[in-house]
Chains A and B, each alone.
Chain A
Amino acid sequence: MEDLTKEFVAESREGLERMEVCLTELEQRHGDSELVGEIFRVVHTIKGTTGFLGFARLQTLAHAGESLLAALRDGRVQVTSELISGLLELRDGLQAIVEIIETRGSEGERRSDDDRELIAWMKELETGIAGRGAHSTPAAQSRDVGQSVPAHVAGAAENGVAKTSGTAEPDRTLRIEVEELDRMMNLVGDLVLTRNRMLQCQPGDSTYPEQVRRLNTVTAELRESVMRARMQPVGHIFAKFPRMVRDLAQRCGRKVRIEFEGQDTALDKSLLEAVRDPLTHAVRNAIDHGIEPEAERVRAGKPIEGVVRLKAYQQNGSVVIEVSDDGAGIATERVLGKAIERGLVTTEAAAMMTEREALQLIFIPGFSTAKEVTSVSGRGVGMDVVRAKVEEAGGRVEIESKAGKGTTLRLRVPLTLAIIPALVVECARQSFALPQAQLEELVYVPASEAASKIERMGSAELYPLRDRLLPLVRLGHVLQIEGSIPATRDLYIAVLEPEGRRFGLVVDGLRAPEEIVVKPLPTGLKDIEVYSGATVLSNGALAMILDTAAVAERGGFRAEAAEERNAEATRGSAGAEHEQTMIELESAMALYEGAQQQGDAFVRIAVPLSAVERIATVPLSDVEYAGTKPVLQYSGEVIPLEDEGDLLHELKGTVNAAATVLICRTGEGRRVGVTVRQVMDVCAGEFLPVDAAVCASPLARIKNRVTMVRNGFASALEGMT
C-alpha cells in the first residue's frame, strides 16, 4: 500500500473512532454544537481526502453523510435517537470501506447496494420525512445482524471472543510527539559518544569508571524515554464502549449508562491491546448478566437506568481497571449449583467454600452461569478466557460481588510489559526466570529437613505449608533435566498460583531478583509451551522465562483439582497425580505403621484419607500436656493427641525428637492428632464386612492384606457417599 493511503487509513480510523464517541455523547447532550462540529469535520476530512486519493465509493457515501451533518449543524434537522442510529450506521459503513482499503489497497465493489440504501436513508433523515417505519431502529438492528458490517457485536458474540467494530485488528501504529522523538535521538547521540570514548580508553584509564557511570545514566534515560513513548491513556480503549453499551442495551431491552473515571491513566501500548478483549467481555457480561431488566430493577427499588462504571487507576506499580455494575450481583448458590452440576467441585467441597472461594469458580474453564445462550453472551467462552488473557499479559483478575448490589471485576496489569521484575531460579545448573507477579512466597527447605518434611502420597509430593498441604512440582522433572543431583541438598519452593492452581515449584537454587527485559521466543520454541519468553540476565547469560500455568499443567495438574482448598488440599494433591494412579477418593486410605509390634514388623493401620487434613512433623517440644493427656496447638486450636502405644515416650530418645502426626477430622467434625511411626502409603482400599464379635474396628483389604481401619473416622467416610 502506498504511504499516502496508509496514512489516510490510520487517520480515518482515528477520526471514525472519535466520531463514535461524539455521537454517543451527542445523544446525551442534544444541543452541543461543538460535538456536531467535530463529527462534521471527521466526515468532511474523509470526503476531501478520498476525492484526492480516488476512492469514489467512499467519497459518495461520505458526501451523503456530510450533507446530512451540514443540515444538522445549521439546525435544519433535530437530534433524535433515530438520527443517531442513522449516523452510527453511516460511521460503520465508512469504517467498512476503510477496512477494505486497508486489507486490499482498493475499496472493492461488493455490497454497493448497502451504500445506496444508506445514502437513501441519509437523504430521508435530511429531508425530515424519515420515521415512516422503513428505517426505524429495530430495522436498523436487523441490518446489523443480518449483514456483514464488520465484526459487529452480534458477529463478535458468535466468534465467542470479544471483538467490536473497528478494533478487530490491534492497532499497529503509534503516535508520538516529535519532541519525545527528538529527546530519544539526543540520548542515542549521547550513547554513541560515550561508546566512542570508551573504545578509546586505554587499560587502566582513570576516566573509565566515569564513562561507565555515564553509560549507565544514558541507558536508563533512554529506556525511560522509550517506555514513556509506549504509554497510552486507557481512554483509548474506553472510547469504543459507549457505542457498544448503547447497542447492547438496546438489544437486551435495558437502559444502561456507562461512566468513566481515570481515562488518563497511562498503560503500555502492548498491554493496552492485551486487556482490550477481556475488558470488552467484562462490559458485555455486566450488561447481559449484571444489569437486570427494567421491571426487576423497579421491584428492587433501583433507578430504571443501570450503570456500568469503568475506572482506571495506578496502584503499587500496576494499573487497575475496574468494571463495576449496579446489577443483580452473582448469586453464590447458583454458582455452586452449576459447579456441582458440571462436576467441577464435589458437593462436600462446595459446602465448605466461603463466598469468596465460590466466586472464584466462575473462572474455571467450561463454567458459564448464563441460564441460556444469548446472542450477547458468548457460547461457552467465559470468564476463564478473560482470566487467561489477563494472566498472559502478566496481570491478575479479581472479582467481588454482592447479591442485589452489583459486581466489580478488577483487572490488575503491570505498568509495562517489556520490563518485568522476575526471580531467577536455578535447576540443574541452568537459570530460569519466574515472573514476580505470579510468585506468592518462597520457602527454604534445608537439606536436613528435605527428606522428612516433604510427604509423599503415591507419586505426588506434598509440603505442609501452614495449614495446607501444598502439592509440589519439581522443575527438573518437568523439564527433564534432572541429572545426578543428590537427594540431600537444600531445596527452595516457589509458591505459585497461576490460574487459581496453587502449587510449589521445587528448584535447586535462587538468585537475586532482577528486572528482566522480555524477549519473544523464536517460532520453533513456542510449541514447547512451558516458556513464555527469554531474557538476558545481568551476567550476560540467556535464561528462559517460565510460563507457570504450563509448568503446572506439565507437572500433572488437572484443572478440577485446582480450586479445592483447605480440607480438600489432600484431595487436590491426589488430583496432582497422574491419571493411572488416580485413587478413588471414596475408599482411599492413608496407611501407617502403628506403635505395636506384629511379628517382626510394626502393625499396619489405615485411616480413611478423607479424614486426614494434614500430615505434620511435630517437634516433641511442641507437644504439651493437659494433665497427662498430650495436646497440640494447631491453627489456633488445641487438639488432643491420640498417642497409642506411648509412641511419644519412645521417640524422646531419638535424634530428631519429632513425631509424625496425622491431623484428622472425626465423624463429629472434631480435630484430633494421631501419632504414627511412619506414613507408608496412600492407596485404594476396600471395606470388608466385619462381625463385631471378631474385631471391634472396621477392616479393609489394602494391597491384598487385611488391615485394621482406625475407629472413629469411618463415619466421615460414610458421610461422603
Chain B
Amino acid sequence: MSADPRPIQQKNEDTVQLCSVKADGGMYGVEASAVREVLGHALPQRVPLAPAHIAGVLTYRGDVLEAVSLRNVLGLQPAREDRVLVLEDSAGERFGLMVDSVGGIVTAPESARESNPATLEARCGAIFNGVYRREEGLMVRLNMEMLRPAELARSAVFSSSMQAEGR
C-alpha cells in the first residue's frame, strides 16, 4: 500500500482515535476516548504555591480540577493557552490540559506509529508515546497517564524544573 499514514479504514483494533492539539506550533495527539469535553476560553484560577506545571484550577461538573499546562510540562515558552481539554484517566479521575488550540479527531493506524527517537531528552521521553508523520508535519502522541498531575508531581524529571520556576 502507499506510505501515506493518513486515516485508512482498517480493522478497528489497529487504529486509534486521537484528538489533535497544538502547543507552541507543535502538533500533539491525545487519545480521544479520554477526552470528556473541550472548554474554550476557560481561564483557570491561579493557585499560589502550586507547582509550576499546574496552571490553576477550574470547575467541571461540580468538581474542582487541576489544569496542567502542556507548554510548561514540555518546557516550551510560556504563553496564553486558552483551551482546556478535560481528560479522564482509566481510574475515572479527571484533570484539565491547557493547550493553545484544539484541532479535529484523527484516526491513526497503529502500524504508522514510529517509536520515540533515542535522542529524545528524558524530559519528554516519558510523556511522548511515539510519533505519526502527517501532511502538516509530525504529530506526537502524548501518553495521557503520564500527564496526570499526581504523576507529574511524582516524577523527578519535573521536580527540578518545578523548583526552578516555582520560586
Q: Which of B54-81 contact A (CB under 8 A)?
A: 54, 57-59, 62-66
Asked if A524 contacts B45 (CB within 8 A), the reply is no
Taking the closest CB of chain A, its distance from the CB of B152, in whole angstroms, is 8
Asked if A534 contacts B150 (CB within 8 A), the reply is no
Q: Given the interface contacts A527-B153, A534-B57, A536-B59, does A522 sit within 8 Å of B64 by beta carbon?
A: yes
Give A533's nearest chain B residue, CB to CB.
Answer: B64
Instruction: Give the complex CA separation of A261 and B62 in angstroms.
Output: 38
Instruction: Give the complex CA separation of A544 and B64 in angstroms.
Output: 10
Asked if B57 contacts A525 (CB within 8 A), the reply is yes
Asked if A523 contacts B150 (CB within 8 A), the reply is yes
Asked if A528 contacts B64 (CB within 8 A), the reply is no
Select which of B47, B50, B64, B95 is within 8 A of A520 by beta carbon.
B64
Asked whether B109 is an interface residue with its Cβ less than 8 Å from the other chain, the reply is: no
Asked if B95 contacts A542 (CB within 8 A), the reply is no
A residues within 8 A CB of B50?
A: 524-525, 528
Asked if A525 contacts B47 (CB within 8 A), the reply is yes
Asked if A479 contacts B49 (CB within 8 A), the reply is yes
Chain A 537-550 interface 0/1 with B at a Cβ cutoff of 8 Å (1 = within): 00001111000000
Asked whether B29 is an interface residue with its Cβ less than 8 Å from the other chain, the reply is: no
Taking the closest CB of chain A, its distance from the CB of B64, in whole angstroms, is 4
Asked if B45 contacts A543 (CB within 8 A), the reply is yes
> Top 9 A-B pairs ranked by shortest CB distance?
A524-B149, A479-B48, A542-B45, A534-B64, A522-B66, A481-B48, A519-B64, A528-B49, A524-B66
Select which of B49, B51, B62, B150 is within 8 A of A530 by beta carbon.
B49
Select which of B54, B62, B63 is within 8 A of A525 by beta carbon.
B54
Binding site of B, secondary structure by majority: helix, strand, loop or mixed? mixed
**Chain A interface category by residue count:** 20 to 34
Asked whether B134 is an interface residue with its Cβ less than 8 Å from the other chain, the reply is: no
Chain B: residues with Cβ within 8 Å of the partner, total of 23
A residues within 8 A CB of B149?
A: 522-524
Taking the closest CB of chain A, its distance from the CB of B139, in whole angstroms, is 28
Asked whether A521 is an interface residue with its Cβ less than 8 Å from the other chain, the reply is: yes
Chain B 127-167 interface 0/1 with A at a Cβ cutoff of 8 Å (1 = within): 00000000000000000000001101100000000000000
Asked whether B36 is an interface residue with its Cβ less than 8 Å from the other chain, the reply is: no
Q: Which residues of A pack against B, CB within 8 Å?
A: 430, 479-481, 519-525, 527-528, 530-531, 534, 536, 541-544
A residues within 8 A CB of B51?
A: 524
B residues within 8 A CB of A523?
A: 93, 149-150
A residues within 8 A CB of B65?
A: 522
Binding site of A, secondary structure by majority: helix, strand, loop or mixed? mixed
Instruction: Give the complex CA separation of A480 and B48 in angstroms.
Output: 7
Taking the closest CB of chain A, its distance from the CB of B163, in whole angstroms, is 14
Give A543's nearest chain B residue, CB to CB.
Answer: B45
Give A517's nearest chain B residue, CB to CB.
Answer: B62
Query: Which of A519, A520, A524, A527 has the most B CB atoms < 10 Å from its CB?
Result: A524
Give B66's nearest chain A residue, CB to CB.
Answer: A522
Taking the closest CB of chain B, its distance from the CB of A387, in whole angstroms, is 26
Asked if B64 contacts A524 (CB within 8 A), the reply is no
Instruction: Give the complex CA separation of A430 and B46 in angstroms.
Output: 9
Instruction: Give the complex CA separation of A525 and B96 in angstroms.
Output: 14
Asked if B54 contacts A524 (CB within 8 A), the reply is yes
Asked if A542 contacts B66 (CB within 8 A), the reply is no
Chain B 12-50 interface 0/1 with A at a Cβ cutoff of 8 Å (1 = within): 000000000000000000000000000000001111111
Select which of A430, A530, A531, A542 is within 8 A of B59 by beta carbon.
A542
Q: Which of B83-139 contact A (CB under 8 A)?
A: 93, 95
Taking the closest CB of chain B, its distance from the CB of A499, in whole angstroms, is 21
Taking the closest CB of chain B, its distance from the CB of A72, in whole angstroms, is 49
Asked if A519 contacts B46 (CB within 8 A), the reply is no
Instruction: Give the complex CA separation of A685 and B6 in angstroms.
Output: 80
A residues within 8 A CB of B54?
A: 524-525
Instruction: Give the complex CA separation of A302 and B121 in angstroms.
Output: 78
Give A482's nearest chain B residue, CB to CB.
Answer: B48
Instruction: Give the complex CA separation of A570 and B59 in angstroms.
Output: 44
Query: Which of A520, A522, A525, A531 has the most B CB atoms < 10 Å from its CB?
Result: A522
Q: Given the interface contacts A519-B64, A525-B66, A536-B59, does A480 sit within 8 Å of B49 by beta carbon?
A: yes
Instruction: Give the complex CA separation of A523 and B66 in angstroms.
Output: 9
A residues within 8 A CB of B150?
A: 523-524
Taking the closest CB of chain B, its distance from the CB of A476, in whole angstroms, is 9
Instruction: Give the complex CA separation of A479 and B48 in angstroms.
Output: 6
